[in-house]
Amino acid sequence: MKQIVIFLGVFIFLISCKEAINNTYDKDKIQKQILDLGRSVVWGLNETNTDTLIRDFWKSDSAMFLIDGMKIEGFNNIQSALEGIPDRRKKLDLDVHNEKVLVLSGNMAIHVVEFHEKVTHMNDSISTGQGIWSTFYKKMQGDWKIIMVHESHLIN
């Protein structure tokens, strides 16, 4: 019995080592890919290009967008909210800084940024704000997809 347990332990260890070797990934390459996706999101927000904003979202009922305590769940609901942006504001000037990408594995990463924004509303009033957002990405079928976005505005 003791020999069987030792054999199983060694067998599991060897399989784990093989899996670890097969799961190597280029962290720098992943970070660059995620930063590039983040830049396209900023461009999409500034240009009110909703096709760009929804392009990388996971087309699932489990996709989630959390903004200042409000939860939007499901791709269709997220798509509807993002497509409604042109009706809610005339212009957005968004500037991001202090970007960080945490690579969790070869197919998962988190992108965190601080932002400043200047919003021109439909009545031409202007508001400014700042905050932080984080985006959780998962690589599916060769493409990075947004699983969840969190955005919080900081109170001045």
Architecture of domain 26-154: Roll (3.10)
Q: Give the pLDDT of residue 8.
A: 47
Domain residue ranges of the chain, discontinuous segments joined by + = 26-154
Interval 35-93: pLDDT, tens: 999 999 999 999 989 899 899 999 999 999 998 889 999 999 999 998 988 888 999 99
- DSSP string for 53-91: HHHTB--STT-EEEETTEEEESHHHHHHHHHTHHHHEEE
